[in-house]
């Protein structure tokens, strides 16, 4: 295996297409168009007809260690931001699928790549799986709120391979596993069930948690998600019944980083640091401004966060895969724990599937101490692609 390190160029470009949405859910730019900020990361002097395409629902990964290590190893990489770059408060997953389709089509038709491998990093994993499922055989004609886009009308180009890298199973399932079920009143988060409040030192349930407590806790998390969903549907119905079919409501969801796994390392065990999550102290993150679904809307909740209604379910979509798939799990990951990696791998329906786990690797491979693990992950990707003749040159 080549260990050469290449210089590479970062070429910014735009993918632009007309926005025919009935309403606008992003701000800035020319509102008649969707403008996707994209980067082509290309090793100098290394031609290729193969490109790895990354997209995350809220973007922002063009400078992550993995995105930049791959072109240094000789791979052509596109990192394309969705229209919701950095702000997911009104995000519609079906529109993100539309965005990824525009990027893949541009990579093939304008940039001339004949082979496209989807790089499903973190939250991009379930997105890539949802996209590929619909590109292979589109079935989704409306969002969970019953509105456009119609994915069957978009002619989404399918990718040739799939990589799931430190990926979780879906945004809605991850949110539910992280939700704080002790909150009894969505309008007043101080009203809590003390026996479900992980961060209350007076809670009689302390780590290591009993199986009975965890089962009760998980059931209460799903119940809270469903209560919010019921309210969302009722509110949408009331707005439509009043003659306002396009009217929206924004709302806040408190308490979305209370997974027992952060405090009890015996649950879904790996080498993560107890008492920490990928955003820092989970007790603070639980009520902080950057938690999952902290600020959202009725339609976005149904499409992005609803446990029962969201379509971007990695497990269901993986079962329909018709392309070779590589799954890499990081064994010190404090965001996507091993059960997510295993569930995704087990769900992949294509017989050509490969599972690799990187001991010591954290979610982002951040910092000098993570460079050996990043190198191991890139070598794994390079070998996997080479075995399928998806090589540069």
Which candidate, 53, 42, 114, places its Cα nearest to that of 79?
A: 53
State residue 393's pLDDT score. 53
Q: Tens of pLDDT along the chain (393 residues)? A: 457 899 999 999 999 999 888 888 888 766 789 999 999 999 999 999 999 999 999 999 999 999 999 999 999 999 999 999 999 999 999 999 999 999 999 999 999 999 999 999 999 999 999 999 999 999 999 999 999 999 999 999 999 999 999 999 999 999 999 999 999 999 999 999 999 999 999 999 999 999 999 999 999 999 999 999 999 999 999 999 999 999 999 999 999 999 999 999 999 999 999 999 999 999 999 999 999 999 999 999 999 999 999 999 999 999 999 999 999 999 999 999 999 999 999 999 999 999 999 999 999 999 999 999 999 999 999 999 999 999 865
Locate the domains of the chain by residue range: 8-170+310-387, 174-305
Predicted pLDDT at 22: 87
Residue 20: what pLDDT?
86
CA 382, 386, 390, 391 torsion-angle sign: positive
Q: Is-contact 48 114, C-beta < 8 A?
A: no
Tell me which of 3.40.50.1820, 3.20.20.140, 3.40.50.150, 3.30.2350.10 is the CATH number of domain 8-170+310-387. 3.40.50.1820
Task: Using alpha carbons, select from 52, 22, 87, 55 the residue that is nearest to residue 247.
Answer: 22
């Amino acid at each position: 295996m080549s260990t050469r390190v290449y210089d590479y160029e970062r070429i910014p470009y735009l993918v632009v297409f007309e926005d025919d949405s009935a309403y606008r859910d992003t701000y800035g730019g020319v509102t008649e168009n969707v403008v996707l900020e994209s980067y082509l990361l290309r090793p100098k002097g290394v031609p290729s007809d193969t490109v790895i395409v990354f997209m995350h629902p809220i973007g922002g990964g063009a400078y992550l260690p993995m995105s930049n290590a791959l072109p240094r190893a000789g791979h052509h990489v596109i990192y394309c931001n969705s229209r919701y770059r950095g702000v997911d408060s009104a995000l519609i997953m079906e529109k993100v699928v539309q965005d990824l389709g525009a990027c893949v089509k541009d990579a093939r038709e304008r940039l001339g790549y004949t082979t496209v491998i989807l790089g499903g990093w973190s939250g991009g994993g379930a997105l890539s799986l949802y996209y590929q499922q619909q590109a292979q055989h589109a079935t989704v004609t409306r969002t969970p709120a019953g509105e456009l886009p119609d994915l069957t009308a978009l002619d989404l180009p399918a990718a040739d391979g799939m990589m799931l890298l430190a990926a979780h199973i879906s945004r809605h399932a991850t949110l539910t596993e992280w939700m704080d079920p002790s909150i009894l009143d969505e309008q007043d988060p101080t009203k809590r069930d003390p026996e479900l409040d992980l961060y209350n030192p007076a809670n009689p349930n302390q780590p290591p948690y009993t199986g009975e407590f965890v089962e009760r806790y998980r059931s209460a998390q799903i119940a809270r998600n469903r209560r919010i969903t019921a309210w969302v549907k009722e509110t949408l119905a009331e707005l439509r019944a009043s003659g306002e079919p396009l009217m929206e409501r924004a709302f806040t969801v408190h308490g979305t980083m209370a997974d027992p796994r952060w405090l009890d390392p015996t649950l879904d065990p790996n080498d993560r640091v107890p008492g920490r999550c990928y955003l820092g102290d989970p007790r603070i993150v639980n009520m902080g401004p950057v938690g999952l679904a902290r600020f959202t809307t009725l339609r976005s909740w149904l499409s992005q966060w609803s446990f029962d209604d969201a379509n971007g379910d990695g497990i269901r979509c993986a079962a329909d895969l018709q392309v070779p798939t590589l799954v890499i799990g990081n064994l010190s990951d404090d965001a996507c724990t091993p059960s997510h990696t295993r569930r995704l791998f087990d769900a992949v329906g294509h017989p050509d599937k490969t599972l690799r786990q990187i001991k010591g690797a954290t979610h982002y491979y951040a910092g000098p101490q993570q460079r050996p693990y990043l190198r191991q992950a890139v070598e794994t990707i390079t070998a996997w692609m080479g075995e399928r003749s998806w090589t540069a040159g």
